[in-house]
């Protein structure tokens, strides 16, 4: 069979699917990265959290416990700014993004930025909610699809069918912050043995150095300054358990309960239909650091979270013009739908997103909001 070639002139005229969208955003200046705003927010939060940490040291235990939810929230927000840095969406310069990511992730949070870039940027963002490609929907012992449930052993299937939705929030989420740190450390230890070249890059050495500094500043220095090891380790474990709870609430509402996908035909549609926009006020949005605009973030991960609110109507119009589902709900609604999704994940099939299949339309509609919940959601 003769090879069919597309004329070069025709290829040059074929517009990128995102070209019109990016042009509209560019015209409004939304592709610009507000470096000053990013650093101002980070520094202001660091000052606030510094006062909070000092209060935990000086005040009686009962006041420390009262302050803990606020301290955990501010700590989580600082960590989320590291997420912006790794996406290169916070600053105009590469050096600025690396510096911000380095301070917020390995130094402050104890999370390897190299691990996060591989797991989150490379794997999750390329294939959100896609079976065997998105690590976020393959978190042992949980399941997010019938396909994974059917491959699990009998004990794990019992857990997934009867327990996972009930133990998720009180037991699993407090472990998330510590488990992410453990996975990052494991990645750092094993990475040189897996790399074929450049085993100890500058980024790798920076990551390792700042992780060591993290544990010294959080656990070593307080003890050297006279705090008991019990109080030091206890505060670290409890605080980052609280952070794990907040992080889970932020991340899970963006994708859980949206379609789990086996195959897809258009990546841009995948990015939109596997996420949801969370309707928050300005205060809630401040602490989400852009992940309340999960659809916009996935479609344009290098867009600063400061610009996402103005970009959202443009992205929604882009989706609706193509007949793609753009879901936007309140936070409580999304939290409820995400929890319900965990309860029924064992019997929820992965779907094929195929624009040519009419049968697929009804399957997509099954993932829309509509599960009964309290009226105030």
Q: Assess if residue 10 is contained within a domain.
A: no
- The stretches in the chain having pLDDT less than 70 are 1-17, 195-198, 355-377
Q: Assess if residue 291 is contained within a domain.
A: yes
Q: Assess if residue 2 is contained within a domain.
A: no
Distances in whole angstroms, Cα of residue 255 to Cα of each of 137, 284, 342:
10, 18, 12
pLDDT of residue 198: 64
pLDDT of residue 264: 85
Q: Assess if residue 18 is contained within a domain.
A: no
pLDDT tens-digit readout, 96-144? 999 999 999 999 999 999 999 999 999 999 999 999 899 988 888 999 9
pLDDT of residue 195: 67
Beta strands 261-264 and 351-353, pairing class: parallel
Total domains, the chain? 1
Q: Assess if residue 204 is contained within a domain.
A: yes
Q: Is residue 255 within 8 Å of residue 334, measured between CB atoms? A: no
pLDDT tens-digit readout, 258-304? 999 988 888 888 999 999 999 998 999 999 999 999 999 999 999 99
pLDDT of residue 220: 94
Q: Which are the contacts of 302, defined by CB distance < 8 A and separation ≥ 6? A: 33, 87, 88, 89
Give DSSP secondary structure letters for 147-167: HHHHHS-HHHHHHHHHTHHHH
Quick one: which H or E segment has residue 191?
A: helix 173-194
Q: Assess if residue 348 is contained within a domain.
A: yes
Q: Assess if residue 320 is contained within a domain.
A: yes
Host domain of residue 63: 35-365
Q: Assess if residue 20 is contained within a domain.
A: no
Q: Give the sign of the dihedral formed by CA 17, CA 366, CA 308, CA 301.
A: negative
Q: 61 in helix, strand or coil?
A: helix
pLDDT of residue 196: 67
């Amino acid at each position: 069979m003769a090879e069919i070639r597309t004329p070069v002139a025709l290829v040059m005229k074929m517009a990128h699917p995102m070209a019109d969208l990016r042009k509209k955003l560019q015209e409004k200046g939304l592709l610009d990265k507000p470096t000053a705003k990013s650093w101002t927010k980070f520094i202001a939060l660091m000052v606030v959290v510094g006062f909070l940490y000092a209060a935990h040291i000086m005040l009686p235990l009962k006041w420390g416990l009262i302050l803990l939810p606020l301290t955990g929230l501010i700590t989580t927000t600082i960590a989320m700014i590291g997420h912006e840095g790794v996406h290169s969406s916070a600053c105009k310069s590469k050096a600025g993004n690396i510096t911000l990511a380095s301070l917020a992730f390995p130094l402050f949070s104890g999370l390897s930025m190299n691990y996060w870039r591989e797991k989150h940027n490379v794997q999750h963002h390329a294939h959100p909610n896609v079976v065997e490609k998105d690590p976020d929907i393959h978190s042992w012992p949980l399941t997010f699809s019938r396909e994974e449930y059917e491959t699990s052993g009998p004990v794990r299937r019992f857990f997934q069918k009867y327990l996972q939705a009930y133990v998720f929030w009180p037991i699993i989420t407090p472990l998330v912050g510590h488990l992410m740190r453990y996975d990052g450390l494991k990645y750092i230890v094993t990475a040189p043995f897996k790399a074929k070249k450049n085993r100890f890059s500058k980024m790798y050495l920076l990551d390792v150095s700042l992780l060591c500094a993290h544990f010294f500043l959080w656990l070593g220095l307080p003890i050297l300054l006279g705090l008991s090891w019990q109080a030091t380790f206890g505060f670290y474990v409890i605080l980052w358990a609280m952070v794990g709870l907040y992080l889970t609430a932020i991340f899970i509402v963006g994708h859980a309960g949206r379609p789990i996908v086996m195959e897809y035909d258009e990546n841009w549609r995948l990015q939109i239909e596997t996420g949801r926009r969370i309707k928050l006020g300005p205060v809630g949005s401040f602490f989400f650091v852009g992940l309340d605009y999960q659809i916009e973030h996935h479609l344009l991960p290098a867009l600063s979270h400061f610009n996402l609110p103005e970009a959202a109507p443009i992205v929604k119009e882009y989706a609706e013009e193509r007949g793609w589902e753009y879901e936007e709900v309140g936070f409580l609604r999304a939290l409820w739908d995400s929890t319900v999704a965990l309860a029924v994940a064992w019997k929820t099939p992965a779907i094929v997103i195929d624009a040519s299949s009419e049968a697929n339309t009804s399957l997509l509609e099954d993932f829309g909001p509509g599960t009964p919940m309290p009226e105030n959601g």
